[in-house]
Structure 1
Amino acid sequence: MADAGTYLYAVARDVDVPCPEGLRGVADQAVRTIARSGLVAYVSTVPLDQFGEEPLRRSMEDLDWLGETAHAHHRVVEAVAAAAPVAPVRLVTVYSGEEQVRRLLDERHDDFVEMLSRVAGRQEWGVKAYVEKAQSAAQSVAQPAAPQEREASRQESSSPGTDYLRRRQASLRTREETWRQAGARAERIHDVLRSVAVASRRHRAQDPELSGRDEWMVLNGAYLVDEERAEEFARALDGLRGQGIELELTGPWAPYSFTVLEEGGAR
């Protein structure tokens, strides 16, 4: 269909793993499979008035649309991952048609096979580390000094702005030291966790608007862990809690962070 594209969710080995019955993906479209070269791609047909190049530019700035699409994408990947090792692809990967997907499976066959072998029997776990901001120091700068402090400042300083600058510098030093110590602690946490994992990735720390938290995020890590070592990984994490750092464990997930493949030819 000229007005439709093929949305790709994930790739797995073609080992007679059926598409989960009744599974629906983005835009509430049915999910089906395309088999080629010993691999199988999980796809949906999507309308280009929503998933064409220009509509996507607008839609990707709509957080409600993006969240709904990401949830549907993830739902499909998790359903497939429950049955077989899977290589998820990037969100909103749209091809012109089935033939282009078949060509991808032919041309990147070896890459997909290697990738699927690497993640077989393993799961991705996410760990985020947060530290409280130096609130008291920041507040001391933002709030005006008490009358007694202003009088003492006038007696000790020849310039009205000297006291403010002194408190401002102290605040910055406190923030810098807090951040330095938290960063060193995050490095230690990452080193311990990756010693249990078979692979690890450090993603960019999320802005508070995305994380939904006021604290600084000092670690946003992903860890590929053998299924039989999942409890060991959790125990290692528990042993790292405290010392001013709050740790958040998420997962297990399909191995999104360890199956990145640049799909040539996608929209």
Structure 2
Amino acid sequence: MNTGQDTLTYVYAVTRQTEALRGLLADLRGVGRTPVLLLAADPESEPSPAAGPTTAAGHAPAAGAVPAPLALVVSPVPYEDFNEAALKDHFEDLEWLESVARAHHEVVQAIATRETVLPLRMATVYRDDSRARLALTDQQPVFARRLAELDAHTEYGVKVYLTPAAPPPAAATVGSADGPGPTTPGKAYLQRRKAQHHARETVYQEARQAAASIEAIAATYTPHRVRHAPQSGALTGPREDRRENVVNDAYLVPDRDAARFRADIEQAAREFPDIRVEVTGPWAPYSFAMTADEAADQAGLEGQGP
């Protein structure tokens, strides 16, 4: 692909070379609308006939079959935009980051529809194809093990939101013949604050109960959960309907159980009318791509880039 310094090698993911990907790659475009290719550890490597074509995303190779060789999913990107100094500047540019993140995600998701995929971090770049191949060769046992663990599994997200609390009615400031005496503005304010606090605690308690119920249900399908930090308010909807995100979990679910997983969680959510539960997916397994130690190893290999 690239040999000079006009371009760098951008890596989206690790996957297996299979016939199922051939037609997909012909029309797939990545960052900057560049063509997407498979880069093998051995440039002469071809898909193993024993592995045969795959029929759907996440399907494991048939029992006894020789796994297809591993490959990086790559495309060329401009050196001027992706060298180390440029990336530091671009990471302050939200519009640029959004564009690259969207293109990265679209490539990974497209590959995931045909073959098990191991996503790498956005803006993983190497000086050239040779450096990228070296990384693949060095990490091949780790990548192969992770792909085998991800076979026939898909990531789903489960988020819990608090519904916006309605403001309590204003306390009366004038007494009546049948009611208590006058309420001062200060007392009215304290009463409103107390009512708001009580309503908030009630909603939080319901959210805790919902989270516990969802975790118990999910545990019957998979032991693999990653707890992400809750999203900020700016990411949870328009201002007039913004809700507080209190649970933001990811689960790695066997494909055979995916429909029942979603249905059972959505059914449980109906028991908690004052909160909102959202099940998202299917996603490529971003949350389960690497263990902490493996991610550190990958970061070390990325140092071989520009």
TM range (shorter): 0.7 to 0.9
> 1:11: which partner in 2?
14
Cα offset, 1:71, TM superposition: 1.8
CA contact (8 A) 2:161 2:245 kept: yes
> 2:264: which partner in 1?
236
Q: Gaps spanning 5+ residues in structure 2: where?
A: 43-68, 176-180
Counterparts of 2:85 and 2:236 in 1: how far apart (Å)? 29
> 2:289: which partner in 1?
259
> 1:172: which partner in 2?
197
2:193 matches 1:193 = no
> 1:157: which partner in 2?
none
| Amino acid corresponding to residue 125 of structure 1 in structure 2 | Y
Instruction: Note the alpha carbon deviations across 1:88-137, whole angstroms, 9 max, x for none.
Output: 11122122222221121122111111110011111112222222132325
**After the TM superposition, which of the residue ranges 107-116 and 230-239 deviates more from structure 2?**
230-239
| TM-score for the superposition, normalised by structure 1 | 0.84
> 2:143: which partner in 1?
112
What is the RMSD of the two structures over their aligned residues, measured on CA atoms? 2.5
2:278 matches 1:248 = yes
2:245 matches 1:217 = yes
CA contact (8 A) 1:190 1:221 kept: no
Cα offset, 1:198, TM superposition: 4.9
Counterparts of 2:15 and 2:190 in 1: how far apart (Å)? 60
| TM-score for the superposition, normalised by structure 2 | 0.75
**After the TM superposition, which of the residue ranges 193-202 and 105-114 deviates more from structure 2?**
193-202
Secondary structure of 2:164's aligned partner: coil
Could you list the runs of 4 or more consecutive aligned residues of structure 1 that deviate by over 4 angstroms after TM superposition? 160-163
Counterparts of 2:223 and 2:134 in 1: how far apart (Å)? 31
Cα offset, 1:153, TM superposition: 2.9
Cα offset, 1:256, TM superposition: 1.3
Counterparts of 2:161 and 2:86 in 1: how far apart (Å)? 37
Cα offset, 1:161, TM superposition: 4.3
Counterparts of 2:212 and 2:223 in 1: how far apart (Å)? 17
2:37 matches 1:32 = yes
> 2:232: which partner in 1?
207
Cα offset, 1:13, TM superposition: 2.4
CA contact (8 A) 1:124 1:224 kept: yes
Q: Gaps spanning 5+ residues in structure 1: where?
A: 155-159
**After the TM superposition, which of the residue ranges 58-67 and 116-125 deviates more from structure 2?**
58-67
Secondary structure of 1:20's aligned partner: helix
Instruction: Note the alpha carbon deviations across 1:38-67, whole angstroms, 9 max, x for none.
Output: 310011111132222333233333333222
Cα offset, 1:216, TM superposition: 1.6
Secondary structure of 2:268's aligned partner: coil
Counterparts of 1:204 and 1:183 in 2: how far apart (Å)? 16
Aligned residues: 256
